[in-house]
Amino acid sequence: MRALDSKNLILASHNAGKLREISDLISPYGFSVRSVADLGLPEPDEDGTTFEQNAYTKAYAAARATGEIALSDDSGLCVDALDGAPGVYTADWAEKADGSGRDFMMAMEKVEAALGEKGADAPDQRRGYFCAVLCLCWPDGHAEYFRGEAHGQLVWPPRGEDGFGYDPVFQPDGHERTFGQMSAQEKHGWSVDHGEGLSHRARAFAKFAIALLP
C-alpha cells in the first residue's frame, strides 16, 4: 500500500451529486479537493467492463493531466433478477435519446419495466445492491482500490426527493425508507473515527480511511 503524502487531491468526476457526496465524506480529514470539472478537463471514454477498470480510467486521466494524485469513483446499481444490470452501465440507462443529458426518472422506469418482464414482484425477487469503487491514482499510474457495497431491495413507486440517481427506488437492508428519503448524514453515516456508514460510497471510503489515513 503506497502512502498518501498529500492533502491535495483531484476529484476525477463531472457528476455534481457524486462530487457533493465525496466532498462530504473527505472534508473531515482536512483534504483540499478540486474537480476535473473545475479545471475544465474532459471526461475520458469509459469502456471498461468492471467498476475498477472505469475508476482507473478516470483517475489516471486526471492524475496524468494535472501531475497530482487523483481520486475517482465508479459506481452503479446491480439488480440480481437482471443478472447484475445495469451495473457498469448504470449511468448509460439514464442517457436521453437526444443526447441532451441524463434522466434518472426514465432510468428507474427502465429498471422497473425490466423487473416486470421478469415477473419480479415479491421483495425477495427484487434484491440488488449499489457498488462503489474508489480509485486513488498517482501520476506514474500506480493505483489503490477500495470497494463498498450496500445491499437491499428495489421498491416502486420511487420514494423521496433527497440523494440522486436511483436513490428513490433503493431501500437498504434493515431500513424502511429509501436512500431518497434519507438525509446525507443518514445515508452515509460517516464519522471521523472510521465508522463504516450505510451507503456503498461511505463503505468504500471507510476502507480508504482505514488504509491510508492516520
Catalogue the active-site residues.
74
Identify the H or E element spanning 34.
strand 32-35
**Number of DSSP helices (H) and strands (E) in the chain, helices first:** 5, 6
Q: What residues form DSSP beta bridges with 71?
A: 11, 136
Could you tell me if 129 and 150 are in contact, meaning their C-beta atoms sit under 8 angstroms apart? yes
The CA–CA distances, whole Å, from 174 to 150, 151, 152, 171, 179 equal 11, 10, 8, 9, 12
CB-based burial label for 135 (10 Å; 0-12, 13-18, 19+) = buried
Give, as one character, the DSSP assignment of residue 126.
S
Identify the three-state secondary structure at position 82: helix
